[in-house]
Chains A and B, each alone.
Chain A
């Protein structure tokens, strides 16, 4: 079946709701007669249209609060169960202690081994570190960690970009090392680290972190809502105005009274596309503003919505898109 263009779907939806003008009815009629396949497609859409009216609607009310109560109990690690088991096997306690000692020895040894995880198959990847901290790797990022502490510190090495949610443990500071010798030190907080060839950017979502350099005492403290950059031997911190710094993880893109010219580079980064603005349209694009939120929408959807809002045209060839009048 050949791909239908958006206009045709609009026309069909309008016709099915009985809201076509005469000219539109005529256009549709012409299309229907052009090919028997067209009529078949129309009939399928008309059937969908009719049936959608009868599709089951959510009418029943369920007790979400009670269900959540049940759910949260089911997913909490249960300590009482462990105790009962222990009591039951009290007779074997002596053996258990021996085994534990052995296991501990093995554990200490294996902790020296470095684990590595890379998000190298085009998808973002999440993992839980041995200390229960969560890490989400953006496409192309690699993390290395050991199963244990190094001089009482939790240390990971990161290349690329990642979002961290650190399990609070004041006794064991959490360090993120990067290929360019900068170090991010945290206690319990969430933030992104973006490492480049010779720069590192840290954006803090909650809590605070310290960004410093290996073998140096200078450092900046970054609080929630701040972004710190290390590059060219300089450390700097300022407030973060980019609402979309973890869009790659959340799937949510937010724009608050931003110009099209400011919006497009963020879309380009998010969807990994090359978006250019036609020279003749630049002036207008720098003045058109939008306040809008997109949740998990495709690039085409997003451009389409902006198009409805701002009235530009766009053309996509492979991964590059051109915006014009």
Chain B
């Protein structure tokens, strides 16, 4: 039996993130079994090759990115049976910012990236955003539910918007729609 504290941390991470990550993988793969396989593989790789990452601040963001990249790589394999594609290797190159290739691969998956960006908001910010934006509460209702002041809710909403923008910008998304406006609205 493994009982070290890092194993405990790993176990907790697995239990807290498994369902969300499977949902995330499913949004790419549209198949439950494949989605679970991808998440399972990602976790096994994390333990075997990158155990030191378990305690790092951004581990959740890394997991989402790893699951996304691994899902995309499975999709690509399914469509082209690409020879020599290793897949499941993403966590090997751990960097803060996505590389050029990753950006290109991720681009067609705008909606998923948006979900990823929401999932990676700071906890309280995410909660406020979910209440207001996804469950349709007014700022006052969200403030009452979460025990915050209306001003704080406004502040979190502004920050959420800013963070989402920043997250997607790394991937060059959303594509600027300025030229469309020029067509329709004479400035």
Contacts and interface: CB of A to CB of B under 8 A. Distances in A.
Interface in A188-206: 190, 205-206
A105 B133 CA distance: 67
Contacts of A167: 4
7 contacts: A6-B159, A13-B157, A39-B181, A47-B174, A55-B115, A58-B20, A71-B14
B10 to A, nearest CB: 8
Contact of A58 (B23, B123, B155): B23
B115 A56 contact: yes
A47 B23 contact: no
Contacts of A295: 122-123
B78 interface: no
Interface in B40-60: 40, 43-44, 47-48, 51-52, 55-58
A111 interface: no
Contact of A53 (B20, B27, B134, B165): B134
B127 interface: no
Given A11-B158, A56-B23, 10 more contacts: A9-B162, A10-B155, A12-B161, A52-B134, A53-B134, A55-B115, A62-B35, A68-B15, A165-B5, A206-B5
B22 A296 contact: no
B112 interface: yes
Contacts of A128: 51
B88 interface: no
A296 B23 CA distance: 24
Contact of B112 (A56, A68, A250): A56
A74 B44 contact: yes
Nearest to B162: A9
B90 interface: no
Nearest to A43: B177
B14 A68 contact: yes
B183 interface: no
A301 B122 contact: yes
B136 to A, nearest CB: 9
A62 B110 CA distance: 24
A70 interface: yes
Interface of A: 4, 6-14, 16-17, 19, 36, 39-40, 43-45, 47-49, 51-62, 64, 67-68, 70-72, 74-76, 124-128, 132, 134, 136, 165, 167, 190, 205-206, 249-251, 295-297, 301, 304, 308
A47 B110 CA distance: 12
Nearest to B94: A123
Contacts of B158: 6-14
Interface residues of B, number: 64
Interface string B124-167: 00000100111000110000000000011011011111101100
Contacts of B83: none
Contact of B5 (A17, A67, A190): A190
Most chain-B Cβ atoms within 10 A of its Cβ — which of A56, A68, A190? A56
Contacts of A13: 154, 157-158, 160-161
A190 B157 CA distance: 40
Contact of A75 (B36, B44, B155, B187): B44
B11 A68 contact: yes
A49 B165 CA distance: 10
Most chain-A Cβ atoms within 10 A of its Cβ — which of B2, B15, B57, B139? B57
Given A6-B159, A76-B2, A250-B55, A57 B18 contact: no
A190 B4 CA distance: 9
Contacts of B115: 55-57
Closest 3 A-B residue pairs measured CB to CB?
A: A10-B158, A126-B52, A296-B57
Given A13-B157, A70-B40, A40 B112 contact: no
Contacts of B139: 14, 17, 19
B72 interface: no
Given A12-B158, A14-B154, A51-B174, A125 B52 contact: yes
Contacts of A68: 11, 14-15, 18
A308 B155 contact: yes
A126 B51 contact: yes
B170 interface: no
Nearest to B23: A58
A70 B33 CA distance: 14
A304 B160 CA distance: 13
B122 A297 contact: yes
A72 B179 CA distance: 53
A60 B32 contact: yes
